[in-house]
Amino acid sequence: MKRNFKGKVILFLALTFLLMIAGCGGGNARNATADINDEEVVKIGVIVAETGPASTLGSSQANTVKLLQKQLDAAGPIDGKTIQLVKHDYETDDTKAVVAMDKLISDGVVAVVGATQSSTSMAIMPKAIEKKLPLFTIAPIESDSEYVYSMAHSTTVIAMPIVEYLNKNNIKKVAWLNAADGFGVTGKPAFEALAKENGIEIVAHEEFDATATDMTIQLTKVRKTDPEAIIVWSRTPGAGIVARNYKALGFDIPMIQSTAAANDGFLEQVKDDNQNIMVVGSKLSVVDQLPDSEQKEILKGFKDSYAEDFNGEPDLFAAHLLDGIQAILEAVKAGHVTSEDIQQYLQNDMGKYLGATGTFDFGVSQASPEADGISVISIENNTWKYND
């Protein structure tokens, strides 16, 4: 029988409290486990783009791994088991990610969290399924495998706050632009279905090369259709280039971008000229502006700990990775330390829990967290602003 842990605070806060108690007893993951028998160590694999073009998304994820390992080392073993996070930087190269996956499997990890990009997640996924190894993807993908858990929101869930915003502002005609890559083409079908249900018409659709340096031609075509808002589905740097071209052409209608633009790299691209530019972003980015709630406590705990170690702020992509590791740690806390046992726990016993990305219930859906962790957020004074 499934247990329902409604509103459960994730393990991160518990680790934070343990860290305060434990003091400075931690250390580097490999040093901390150097003198421990293999059977006393639970290894969790992590594959992220710490370097390369996708590091605009992956660097905060890599930092989160370091932060969590520090927390885990200081807190000490969980039920006699030392936790080791084995991180690989795939350098924004899918082939290197597959090699890293093979290495993690040979190292005996019990689960894997990764990868930063959708294409990379798809590349490593067959190996996880073959080995019956729980894989916690941190980029939007679609899979019907029981061994794949999506920490990132599905395209349909990401589209929900956009449709809510459009309805709230009585916007019924929109233009759609997307990068012609694996991520860019996923958004429109999901949005289109929700738009139809809500009487919203897509009056223009333009695509652009993800590596292009100017999208003025596409935006000029869009202008002729007289939309009331523009929606963009692309990651940086393309997302920022579209936004800059939109400002240069003098558009005075809202532009809403996907979660792939909810990062500091995008903010820097549109610095000082960002009126009417919005993204679907994590509530983590605006936590100090949120009303008091259990969710706010979780997000603030993560944000404050991250800021202390890295003198910066975590983003939605860091939250995806955090939640993937936390899900595995929840299973370990419950006494499950093999891939098979972790899988059974997640499928049958874990129930609902509140993460930094939103609420998860793997027994109901492995495809996405709920939309309660994201919102359409705007930019004010070159920083994110919560729209209540």
Dist CA 386 CA 243 (whole Å): 20
| H helix runs in the chain, sequence order | 11-22, 29-32, 55-75, 94-107, 118-130, 155-168, 187-197, 216-223, 238-248, 264-269, 294-310, 316-333, 339-348
Q: What is the pLDDT of residue 14?
A: 46
Q: What is the pLDDT of residue 174?
A: 98
Q: CB 24: neighbour CB atoms within 10 A?
A: 8
**Span 91-114, mean pLDDT?**
98
**Is the pTM of the predicted complex or chain greater than 0.75?**
yes
Q: Bigger pLDDT: 334 or 140?
A: 334
**Span 36-54, mean pLDDT?**
89
Q: What is the pLDDT of residue 173?
A: 98
Q: What is the pLDDT of residue 140?
A: 84
**Span 251-267, mean pLDDT?**
93
User: Is the pLDDT at 278 greater than 90, yes or no?
Assistant: yes
Residue 369 phi/psi, 5° resolution? -75, 170
Q: What is the pLDDT of residue 353?
A: 87
Q: What is the pLDDT of residue 183?
A: 84
Average pLDDT value over all residues in the chain? 90
Reduced to 3 states (helix: H, G, I; strand: E, B; else coil), residue 161 is helix
**Span 292-303, mean pLDDT?**
96
Per-residue pLDDT band for 28 (boundaries 50, 70, 90) equals very low
Per-residue pLDDT band for 38 (boundaries 50, 70, 90) equals low
Query: Which is nearest to 283 in space by CA: 145, 199, 385?
Result: 385
User: Is the pLDDT at 13 greater than 90, yes or no?
Assistant: no
Q: What is the pLDDT of residue 29?
A: 42
User: Is the pLDDT at 34 greater than 70, yes or no?
Assistant: no
Q: What is the pLDDT of residue 36?
A: 54
**Span 286-309, mean pLDDT?**
96
User: Is the pLDDT at 15 greater than 70, yes or no?
Assistant: no
**Span 200-212, mean pLDDT?**
97
Q: What is the pLDDT of residue 335?
A: 96
